[in-house]
């Protein structure tokens, strides 16, 4: 699971707009806005969260910690 804060932080590290991340993830813009508005783990379909997570990971984001203990993100060099 990932948190709303991790989604926002990852998007910021990559310089992605909400609209662009939604497009790349194959989800609706308003869905992503809703996911980012939660506190903690968003209440959403697992497939939706997984799509966002996989998109961010394939763009160079590593999710660290757990939702309950030090959730964060870091950018890694894929090359």
CATH of the domain at 39: 1.10.260.40
User: What is the pLDDT, as a whole number, of residue 78?
Assistant: 61
DSSP state of 60: T
- Write out the residue range of the structural domain in which residue 48 sits: 4-75
Residue 6 binned pLDDT confidence (cut-offs 50, 70, 90): very high
Task: Give strand pairing partners of 74.
Answer: 62
pLDDT tens digits, residue range 18-65? 999 999 999 999 999 999 999 999 998 999 999 999 999 999 999 999
For the chain, what is the domain count? 1
Residue 73: beta bridge partners? 63
């Amino acid at each position: 699971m990932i948190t709303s804060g991790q989604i926002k932080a990852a998007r910021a590290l990559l310089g992605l707009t909400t609209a662009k991340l939604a497009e790349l993830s194959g989800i609706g813009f308003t869905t992503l806005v809703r996911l980012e508005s939660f506190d903690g783990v968003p209440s959403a379909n697992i497939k939706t969260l997984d799509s966002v997570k996989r998109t961010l990971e394939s763009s160079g984001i590593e999710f660290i910690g757990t939702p309950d203990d030090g959730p964060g993100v870091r950018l890694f060099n894929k090359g």
